[in-house]
């Protein structure tokens, strides 16, 4: 079998719950596990259902499926609080958590996320993301440490230390990166997975719809080749690394669904994340139950 064909067989599949009802999410997680999905994700908002409380409940009613957010705006979070939440779910699930990390949506694209504070701008959010991710590496170990950054600091303490995470050396951390912006992509290469954004050459701004329209498996393959080379340079080539692609399949025609996913797998994508953000709120429960039960778009 060719390398591309082999990757098709190895691809994993996650389902993103786009609704807001935590009870429904906890109902869906074991259904997803029984229906052959490899992961179950919930979204994290500002003034919204608490994703980590929801995932904690999902952890105790599942055994195999991985659990995570899609995604966590790390610059909006206090790293020590995020460390405690993720550690708790990691221990409750016996090491099945994935952290998906990004800058968060800019105010120019979604003002709803900035109703309590002002957007400090992409540069500051990028600094907060880098420092937050660095702090998490220490916080997850439940050991005294010191940290001095531009935005955060920590003093060593021996008292009331939390337990460490189950997964080592860290909870797998997938990071949003904008291809082909090298500063963003170099951050991605240091962690455990890439959540793609794409900045088409010559395009104004970072319009999400334009990114989705112009990002193709061919562009993904180009970016993945760069990540592979960069990780070799960093001495990380022997450590697992995932590449994510989010999209929508029907769940009715398995052959057609698999064909949609195949091109991405052949490009080197390792996870297909099923989502449909266009489903109206009143239909989310009906849609999610049916699509989860239909199973992932495997060949």
Distance CA(247)–CA(14), nearest Å, equals: 11
Write out pLDDT tens, residues 3-32: 555 677 899 999 999 999 999 999 999 999
pLDDT per residue as tens digits for the range 147-178: 999 999 999 999 999 999 999 999 999 999 99
| Residue 4 pLDDT | 56
E strand intervals along 18-128: 39-42, 66-69, 72-73, 97-102
pLDDT of residue 1: 41
Neighbours of 67 (CB within 10 A): 26
Percent of the chain with pLDDT over 70: 96
Cα separations in angstroms, 125 against 10, 17, 27, 177, 279: 35, 26, 35, 13, 30
In whole numbers, what is the pLDDT of the chain averaged over residues?
94
Quickly state the pLDDT bin for 208 (edges 50, 70, 90).
low
Helix (H) or strand (E) holding 242: strand 242-247
Q: CA 12, CA 261: separation in Å to the nearest integer? A: 11
- Tell me the C-alpha distance between 97 and 140, whole Å: 13
Please give the pLDDT value at position 202. 72
Average pLDDT over residues 183-200: 96
| Cβ-based neighbour number of residue 11 at 10 Å | 22
Which among 171, 187, 168 is positioned nearest to 179, based on CA atoms? 187
pLDDT over 90 for what percent of the chain? 89
In terms of Cα–Cα distance, which of 180, 242, 257, 249 is closest to 215?
Answer: 180
pLDDT tier at 47, thresholds 50, 70, 90: very high
Which residues on neighbouring strands pair with residue 215, listed in sequence order?
none
Tokens standing for residue 157: 């303490």
């Amino acid at each position: 079998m060719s390398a591309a064909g082999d990757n098709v067989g190895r691809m994993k599949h996650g389902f993103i719950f786009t609704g807001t009802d935590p009870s429904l999410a906890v109902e869906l997680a074991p259904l997803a596990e029984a229906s052959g999905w490899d992961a179950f994700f919930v979204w994290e908002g500002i003034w919204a259902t608490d994703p980590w409380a929801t995932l904690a409940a999902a952890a105790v009613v599942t055994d195999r499926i991985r659990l995570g957010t899609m995604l966590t705006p790390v610059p909006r979070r206090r790293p020590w609080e995020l460390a405690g939440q993720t550690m708790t779910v990691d221990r409750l699930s016996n090491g099945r958590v994935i952290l998906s990390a990004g800058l968060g949506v800019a105010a120019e694209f979604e003002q709803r996320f900035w109703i309590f504070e002002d957007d400090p701008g992409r540069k500051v959010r990028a600094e907060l993301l880098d420092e937050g991710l660095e702090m998490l590496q220490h916080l997850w170990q439940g050991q005294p440490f010191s940290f001095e950054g531009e935005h955060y600091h920590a003093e060593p303490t021996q008292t009331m230390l939390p337990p460490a995470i189950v997964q080592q050396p860290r909870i797998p951390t997938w990071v949003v990166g904008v291809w082909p912006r090298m500063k963003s992509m170099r951050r991605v290469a240091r962690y455990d997975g890439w959540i793609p954004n794409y900045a088409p050459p010559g395009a104004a701004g970072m319009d999400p719809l334009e990114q989705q329209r112009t990002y193709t498996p061919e562009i993904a393959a180009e970016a993945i080749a760069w990540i592979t080379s960069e990780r070799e340079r960093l001495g990380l080539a022997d450590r697992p690394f995932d590449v994510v692609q989010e999209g929508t399949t029907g769940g009715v025609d398995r052959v057609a669904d698999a064909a949609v996913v195949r091109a991405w797998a052949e490009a080197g994508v390792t996870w297909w994340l099923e989502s449909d953000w266009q489903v109206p709120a009143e239909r989310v429960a009906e849609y999610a139950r049916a699509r989860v039960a239909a199973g992932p778009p495997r060949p």
